[in-house]
Amino acid sequence: MATPEPTLWLHSPPGGPPPIPLPPAGRTLVLGRGPLTRVTDRKCSRNQVEVCLDPTSEVVMVTQRGVNPSTAGSTRLSPGSQAQLAVGETLLLVNGQHPLTLLRTSEPPQPSPPQGAPSEPRKKRPRGPEGWQKLGSLLVFTAPGVRAQEKVAAFDLDGTLITTRSGKVFPTSPEDWRILFPGIPKRLQELEADGYKLLIFTNQMGIGRGRLQPQVFQSKMESVLETLGAPFQVLVATGSGIYRKPATGMWDHACEQANEGVPVSLADSFYVGDAAGRPANWAPGRKKDFSCGDRLFALNLGLRFSTPEEFFLNWTPSRFTLPDFDPRSLSPTGPLCLPPAGPLVGPGPEIIVAVGFPAAGKSTFLQEHLVAAGYVYANRDTLGSWQKCVAVCAEALKAGGRAVVDNTNPDPASRARYISCAKEAGVPCRCFHFTASLDLARHNNRFREMTGSPHPAVSDMVMFSYRKQFVAPSLAEGFSQILEIPFRPRFSNPRHEALYRQFSEG
């Protein structure tokens, strides 16, 4: 009897769908939310990715079609982008979740029986897979004995459950830690006995930046849990984006993907963390909290929040302050420009110079209101130099048209080039000042990253450099008019709006 020809399959973890066979080379398979993958996550599009086997190799090309990011192997995708997936690598359908591993076998890989199948002994609550899992920029550890529960007791790690033995802010070695308060292990064990699932949510950016080896952190984490003496599930954000607190991606994964289908009751759950926005001397001699990220994480989720002192030592709640920038307060309505009379579109040939932070909404606004009205578009990122931008403007004016310059243009020197170009052509030059603050621009930048926007991420160094160079535009520079353009958030996706309204930095 002939041996069956080897076939490529996408294989899911225990409890997932049956293995998915790939079609012959050259034919496309669309994967997303639906019965084939058994994914019900609304963040996953029904047409999230297309996969196609390369006819000359065993490499599968993955093309993202959905809005939220997919991951092929180690490559994070954005809408329209492609990456290769080799045998043995894993496709994460959306936001680092819903893994499908590419396997090559002669027979279909046998699906693992779902947790709680009739042939298995009944348990009070189902257990998930134990040990460490890497899901994109998220690490998940499930200790032996962890069970799915409706009630969750969640904790930060550093400064909440442990602190440094050396007394320094940052640990000097993997062994430089101790339990923060002596009574913590007993309290945690009482919570577990009372039917709570114990979770740790911790940001560890050092792993993503290569300063901390994941194996070193994992070993330390297991030693901490052994000392605590209670079964924890630990979620570790190793980079920026949707998983990093105060963004709620780690919580969403814990509840939607790592609780064996048992719904979590927010009303019966709580979170404890030390990054609580407390000022200096909130208790005698205590330093100001380094951030408000833990309190904002709980606020984003609607969870009850306590500091370690309040929860473990029964101290009275301390005073605190929230960040000045509150994304919940931004209004999508109001005039497009100030003064409201504008006008946005001029009556004849002109140059419009945009001024504003990266991620202040300039490109979207200018494309919608000016380029759509016939303005020639000049952008240094696309053209490569300001000289080419000036040349594009001059050519547009020579043809009797209008031009708009979409750069940050923070100071009079950067703006003078276009004012001079307009003067030489005998036409006016107006300024559109996009007034988004530094905090708002950074929030927009993080939101783009979390939603897989095609806009390239902007570093904080660039943001702060703009603020340092910025000089407010004035008519004295030679502008015929200056309009202020406030940022108005708009959404077609309710989930994106909910995400945007969350605090994304503590």
Alpha carbon distances (Å) from 238 to 89, 136, 249? 20, 9, 12
CA distance 273 to 460: 26
- pLDDT tens profile 291-313: 999 999 999 999 999 999 999 99
All residues at 6 or more sequence positions from 449 whose CB lies less than 8 Å from its CB, including other chains: 240, 241, 457
All residues at 6 or more sequence positions from 80 whose CB lies less than 8 Å from its CB, including other chains: 63, 64, 65, 454
The C-alpha angle 357, 373, 480, rounded to 5 degrees, equals: 60
How is residue 271 written in tokens?
Answer: 């979170």
The C-alpha angle 156, 190, 256, rounded to 5 degrees, equals: 50
All residues at 6 or more sequence positions from 57 whose CB lies less than 8 Å from its CB, including other chains: none
How is residue 71 written in tokens?
Answer: 């991951």
CA distance 250 to 247: 8
First to last CA, the chain: 65
370 φ/ψ sector (left φ>0, alpha ψ -120 to 50, else beta): alpha
The count of other CB atoms within 10 Å of the CB of residue 28 is 11
Q: pTM of this prediction?
A: 0.73
Whether the CB-CB separation of 232 and 266 falls below 8 Å is answered with no
**Could you tell me which residues are beta bridge partners of residue 403?**
351, 376
How crowded is the C-beta side of 56, counted as CA atoms within 13 Å? 0
Q: Which residues of the chain are under the pLDDT cut of 70?
A: 1-6, 15, 105-129
Omega of the bond leading into 412 within 30 degrees of 0 (cis): no
DSSP code string of 438-466? HHHHHHHHHHHHHTT-SSPP--HHHHHHH
Instruction: Quote the pLDDT of residue 125.
Output: 61
The amino acid at residue 157 is: L
All residues at 6 or more sequence positions from 493 whose CB lies less than 8 Å from its CB, including other chains: 67
Whether the CB-CB separation of 128 and 231 falls below 8 Å is answered with no
The closest of 101, 39, 89 to 68, measured between CA atoms, is 39
CA distance 382 to 195: 57
> Structural domains in the chain?
7-105 (2.60.200.20), 131-312 (3.40.50.1000), 351-500 (3.40.50.300)
